[in-house]
Every structure is written in C-alpha cells, then in structure tokens.
Amino acid sequence: MTSTSTMLSLASAPPTASLSVHENLKGRLKLGGGSLSFNKERANPFINTKSFSRISMVAAVKVSRFEGVTMAPPDPILGVSEAFKADNDKKKLNLGVGAYRTEELQPYVLNVVKKAENLMVERGENKEYLPIEGLAAFNKATAELLFGASNPVIKEQRVATVQGLSGTGSLRLAAALIERYFPGAKVLISSPTWGNHKNIFNDARVPWSEYRYYDPKTVGLDFDGMIADIKAAPEGSFVLLHGCAHNPTGIDPTPEQWEKIADVIQEKNHIPFFDVAYQGFASGSLDADAGSVRLFAARGMELLVAQSYSKNLGLYAERIGAINVVCTSADAAARVKSQLKRLARPMYSNPPIHGAKIVANVVGDPTLFNEWKAEMEMMAGRIKNVRQKLYDSLTAKDKSGKDWSFILKQIGMFSFTGLNKAQSDNMTNKWHVYMTKDGRISLAGLSLAKCEYLADAIIDSFHNVS
C-alpha cells in the first residue's frame, strides 16, 4: 500500500526534511457555546496522508516548513471588492464593502479632514510614540462624542477610553479583556451580524453564541426571539449590540424595544457590549444615533462600547476608533484602562497617531465640528434619497405586489434584501452587481442614476432564481 511504504520512508527521512502541520485552528475554535480550552499541544509529527508521497520524494531536497499550509479562502466582504475590480463590464456596480461613495460613485474625503490634515502639516508636529492608550485629546473627544460632554459618566470619570485600531481593533482589545478577566463568559451576537465579529472572538478565544435578530418573514426584527435568547443565556454574558444601523440588516430596535432589551440585560446581569460604527451616519444626527448607548448608561449600567471613525469621518484607512468601558467608579475605570493597555502593548505597542490627530482637530474645534455635522447630514441624506429612489423603482417595476417597504424602514449604509445566496450570485453573475452572499447591499455604493438598473436586477433575482 502506497501510504505504508511512504510512511516508512518518512521515518527514515533526514532531520532537515522538517514537516509542517496545518490545522484549521479556526475550525476548531468555532463553537456555538460552552467553554473553550485553548490547547497548545498541536504538534503532530505525522502530517496528513495526502502529502506523504510528496514528502518522501522531496526529502532529499529540503521541503518548506510551511508546505502543509493551505490556501485560505478570500475574505467574504473584502473579497467582493477584489472581484469587482477584476470585472470589466461597464454596468458593474460595487455594493460590497461599506464605504461611502458620492453620487458619482467616487470615494469621498471629507472637507473637514482635508482642512485638519493641512493644519497638521502646517504646524509640523512631531511623530513621537503615543502613550499605549493613545492620544489623550482623541480619547477625551471620543468619549464625549459618545456619551455627551455633560453626561455623569464623563463628569465622574467613569469611562475608560483607549484608542484602538478602528472598530475591529477596539473589539479585539475588548475581547482580549473578556478572555482574561471573565474566563468562560460568553458573548452573545446577533444572527446575523457583521461577518468579522465571529473571527474576532474566535481568535481571542472567547466563546460566543447567537441570539435571534433578523426575521426573514417580516424582513424585520425578531424581537421576541431576541429577548428570549438573551434571557436564556447564562448570567453575566456579554451581549453584543449594534448601537445603530445594524450591520448587515439595517434593522434597529425602536426606543421602546431598547428599553426592554436593557431590562432583560439588567435582569440577567449581562454586560452590554455596543459596536458603534455608524454614529451620525444612521440618522444624520450624532446625538440621536448615540441614543441606545446613552439609554443604557443612564441606567447606571456598566457597559463596553467599541467605536469607529471609519465611516462617519471617512477615515477608513487610518484605522481610528476606541474601546470605551463605562464602570461604576473612577477607580474601576482606571484599573480597567491599565489592563487594556497591558493587552495592547504586546499587540502593537501603541496606536497610530495620524487618524487620532485628525479626529482631535475636527471634534475639538467648534467650527470644524459644525462643518463635520453638516457633511455627515449630507452623507446620511444621500443614502436616504437613494433608499427612496430604489424603493420607488422597485414598486414601480415589480408587479408581483411584494412589499419592498423594508428598504425604507432599514437604516444606515446597508440593506438586507432578503436575497439568498443563489439569488445574490445571480446578481453578480448576470447583472454584475457585487454584494455579499448574505443578501446585503451597501447603499453607500449606490447612486440615484443606478437605482433603476439595480431594481431590475433585484426583481429578476428574486422572482426568477431560487
């Protein structure tokens, strides 16, 4: 038998023919519930059988230590843009990644950002290391933006704010904190949620499970399911909530529903964990979009908020955000901050300065701040207009009587169309419309001019593909 003979030759292979083992760690860590044990004993001297014959053949010619490393699949969200770039069709439309586009479908650098950068270059500031927790002026501005400058949590210094690498990096720091100080605690995430949430908690070795969120029947919120699942989770779980403009569905709880969510979280001594990536981008108002976070804070609850300036200040590539932890005392906040720093230091030492300075300059200057608010309203307004036009096009063209009003009810950059994977593929393959396989489209990438075309594509995919 071939495998036996190659196994024998393997045993006599010279020590230089080192073998590598590939194990899909992600596959092993992805648990629906229960506790995780991180097992370091991964060293397995025997690799998978497929490579055996190849190993014995090349044993004399040194094999790569990484021979067994498999090709990873492309990122489901970021991979969409790559596929879009490769498409030469003139009608192509990129509704994949959540990055704002103008009506001309061009990327947009906010005027306030350009002004801030010019100021920074004129001043000729230095590029010294930031403290591990980031730029103090940035942290202050961010906490005040989230909670309101006169909020008791700010006045009483009960918020630990640490600059992080946008939303992702801030979530990762928080996950690392949970893993270290709340061993065995679970994070409850919505079904569905942003695709990278699970990866973050998996890599941080924090167990997670899902709570019901999206109801395909109503294309709305499964509120009863959400409450029931949060209630059923073990006491002291972390509940990941999208502060506004839920990604990918665009479906947000109403204020009354938020109150009930807060009730059940308090009842079960869960810890709310907000992901705020769209403050100001959902409704156009920074304060309105922070409503859910402020509601929870007003109840005296301790909570976490991972926050990003990627979208609302268009600072995507600068990687600027923060993790905020609201505690019951200033002392607890100071201790939490010190431990967050301890987790950041072996990850990247201290955060990048450029984006932080832009934010500090914009938010800290009343003129620029007001200008920012106006630009934000403009961006959010464009998306609302596009929603309206898309809805109008769909209802005009679709004779089936299907209710497309969810397009208007959903909020933020994304719309969950309800299209399934096959239908989403049809959107791409037949219509050159690029979107994620879960049926999510980014309205930020849609222009008024393209609404009719998109409506045709959606109607075709929905009715003619199953």
* Of the residues 3, 5, 8, 20, which one makes contact with other proteins according to CB under 8 A: 20
Gap between the Cα atoms of 355 and 297, Å rounded: 27
Task: Tell me, yes or no, if 194 is annotated catalytic.
Answer: yes
Binds other proteins (CB under 8 A): choice among 9, 31, 59, 75: 75
Q: Judged by CB under 8 A, which of 5, 8, 33, 44 binds other proteins?
A: 44
- How far apart, in Å, are the Cα atoms of 213 and each of 22, 33, 123, 265, 318? 35, 18, 48, 15, 31
Q: For residue 16, which amino acid is it? A: T
Q: Return the closest-CA partner of residue 230 out of 194, 191, 197.
A: 191
CB of 337 to other proteins, least distance (A): 9
Q: How far is the CB of 87 from other proteins (least distance, A)?
A: 17
Query: Count of CB atoms within 10 A of residue 333's CB?
Result: 22
Q: Which stretch binds other proteins (CB under 8 A): 150-158, 411-419, 433-441, 456-464?
A: 150-158
Q: Which entry of 186, 311, 389, 437 is annotated as an active-site residue? A: 311
- Assess whether 275 carries a catalytic annotation: yes
Please tell me which residue in 115, 186, 194, 357 is annotated as part of the active site. Answer: 194
Which 244-263 positions form the footprint of other proteins (CB under 8 A)? 259, 263
Candidates 21-29, 142-150, 207-215, 372-380; binding stretch for other proteins (CB under 8 A):
21-29
Rank residues 152 and 216 by Cβ distance to other proteins and give the closer one: 152
Element (DSSP H or E) covering residue 164? strand 159-164
CA–CA separation, 146 vs 155, rounded Å? 13
What part of residues 119-138 is at the interface with other proteins (CB under 8 A)?
A: 121, 124, 126-132
In angstroms, what is the minimal distance from the CB of 2 to other proteins? Answer: 23
Minimum CB distance to other proteins smaller for 302 or for 458? 302
Helix 255-267 × helix 291-298 angle, to 10°: 40
Per CB under 8 A, which of residues 313..372 are in contact with other proteins?
A: 314-319, 325, 327-329, 332, 334-336, 338-339, 341-342, 345-355
* DSSP-assigned beta bridge partners for residue 210: 189
**DSSP calls for 235-299:** TT-EEEEESSS-TTT-----HHHHHHHHHHHHHTT-EEEEEES-TTTSSS-HHHHTHHHHHHHHT
Helix (H, G, I), strand (E, B) or coil at 36: coil
For the segment 300-319, give every residue that binds other proteins (CB under 8 A): 300, 302, 310, 314-319
User: Alpha helices, DSSP H only, in 321-365?
Assistant: 330-348, 353-364
d(CA 276, CA 264): 21
What tokens does 44 get?
Answer: 């397995």
CA 373 – CA 50 distance, rounded (Å): 59
Coil/strand/helix, residue 125: coil
Cβ at position 451, least distance to other proteins in Å: 23
311 catalytically annotated: yes
What's the closest the beta carbon of residue 388 comes to other proteins, in angstroms?
27
* Residue 80 found at the interface with other proteins (CB under 8 A): no
- 390-449: contacts with other proteins (CB under 8 A): none
Q: Which is nearer to other proteins, 149 or 396 (CB)?
A: 149
Quick one: 347 or 374, whose CB is closer to other proteins?
347
* 192 contacts other proteins (rule: CB under 8 A): no
- Whichever of 49 and 328 has its CB closer to other proteins, that residue is 328
Annotated active-site residue in 222, 275, 289, 438: 275
What x-and-dash track marks residues 199-238 binding other proteins by CB under 8 A? xx-xxx-----------------------------xxx--
184 binds other proteins (CB under 8 A): yes
Closer by beta carbon to other proteins, 21 or else 465: 21
Residue 394 C-beta: closest distance to other proteins, Å:
29
- Cβ atoms of 251 and 220 closer than 8 Å: yes
Cβ–Cβ under 8 Å, residues 217 and 203: no
Minimum Å gap between C-beta 191 and other proteins is: 19
Stretch that binds other proteins, among 66-74, 364-372, 379-387, 445-453 (CB under 8 A): 66-74
By CB atoms closer than 10 A (0-12, 13-18, 19+), residue 72 is exposed
d(CA 84, CA 312): 24
Q: What is the DSSP letter of 59?
A: S
Query: How many residues make contact with other proteins (CB under 8 A)?
Result: 111
Least Å distance, CB 51 to other proteins, is: 12
| Positions marked active-site | 194, 275, 311
